[in-house]
Amino acid sequence: MSSVNENFEPKILVFACNWCTYAGADLAGLSRLQYPPNVRILRVPCSGRVNPQFVLRAFQRGIDGVLVCGCHPGDCHYTSGNYYTRRRYLLMKRMLEFMGTDPERFQTRWISGSEGPKFQEVITEATGIIKAIGPNRKMRDDLTIQAAFAQRDAEEEEGEAK
């Protein structure tokens, strides 16, 4: 197994709260801290904005790992959003397991805007874990990006026709 994974470069999606983790990632950059180039950050206003649907969609489209990162418990910019995240994603992990996907592909982490080094640490650790698990072939569909746009446009037209 290890021989298969050595050259494997996973793609990891990070949902980052605008008020903490996104700023923490910026700080990591400002401090020139290096971490594996496998992650792509998607900015959301709050970790509580991350619908489980987004995570499932990412796995369906073949992502190897997903992180949802928000403010530390008690520090949510919007009072309570990260508490919903915490509860929601405990369930999410169990559901992924039930579906036969390694639940370790999916993680939630709390990183504040002042924790550049923690961002680096979390990304490095998560990349290692997901690399070891190997590529996600479980749920991948074979859509092309053009087809995805076409599908959305068709939905839009259908919606307007209604």
Partner 1 sequence: MKKVGVFVCHCGSNIAHSVDCAKVAETLKDFPNVAFSTDYKYMCSEPGQELIKKAIKEQGLDRVVVCSCSPRMHENTFRNCVAQAGLNPYMFEMANIREQCSWVHPDDMEKATEKAIDLAKMAVSKVCYDEPLEKSYSPVTKRALVVGGGIAGIQTAIDIANNGFVVDIVERTPSIGGKMSQIDKTFPTLDCSACILTPKMVEASSHPNINLITFAEVEKVEGYVGNFDVTIRKKARSVDMSKCTGCGTCWSKCPTKVPSEFELGMSMRKAIYTPFPQAIPNKPVIDREHCLKFTKGICGVCSKVCPAGAIDYTIEDELVTERYGAIVMATGYQLFDASVYGEYGYGRYPDVISGLQFERLINASGPTMGHLLRPSDGKEPKNVVFIKCVGSRDENKGKEYCSRTCCMYTAKQATLVRDKIKDSKVYVFYMDVRTPGKGYEEFYNRTTEKYEANYIRGRVSKITQEGDKLLVHGEDTLLGRPVKVEADMVVLATAMVSNPDAAHLAQLVGFSYDKDGFYTESHPKLAPVETHTAGVFLAGACQGPKDIPDTVAQAGAAAVKVTALLSKDKLETEPSVSVVDQKNCAGCGHCVNICPYRAISLETIQERVNGKTIERKVAHVNSSLCRGCGACTVTCRSSSISLKHFTNKQILAEVDALCLQ
Q: Which residues bind partner 1 (CB under 8 A)?
A: 9, 11, 13, 22-23, 25-26, 28-30, 32-35, 37, 40-46, 48-54, 57-58, 61-63, 77-81, 84, 88, 120, 143-146, 148-149, 152
Nearer to partner 1, 34 or 97 (CB): 34
Coil vs helix vs strand at 146: helix
> Whole-number minimum distance, CB 160 to partner 1, in Å?
13
Closest approach, Cβ 85 to partner 1, in A, equals: 9
Min CB(69)–partner 1 separation in Å:
13
Q: How far is the CB of 50 from partner 1 (least distance, A)?
A: 7
| C-alpha count within 13 angstroms, C-beta hemisphere, residue 126 | 28
Minimum CB distance to partner 1, residue 48 (Å): 4
2/146 with CB nearer partner 1: 146
Q: Which is nearer to partner 1, 84 or 133 (CB)?
A: 84
Q: Any idea what the Cα angle at residue 57 is, between residues 76 and 123, rounded to 5°?
A: 55
DSSP 71-137: PPTT--TTSSHHHHHHHHHHHHHHHHHHTTS-GGGEEEEE--TT-HHHHHHHHHHHHHHHHHH----
Question: Which two structure tokens, joined as six digits, stand for 102?
Answer: 């390694």
Closer residue to partner 1 (CB): 84 or 103? 84
Q: Name the residue nearer to partner 1 (CB basis): 1 or 162.
A: 162
Chain-centre distance of CA 80, in angstroms? Answer: 20
Question: What token pair was written down for 76?
Answer: 């949510």
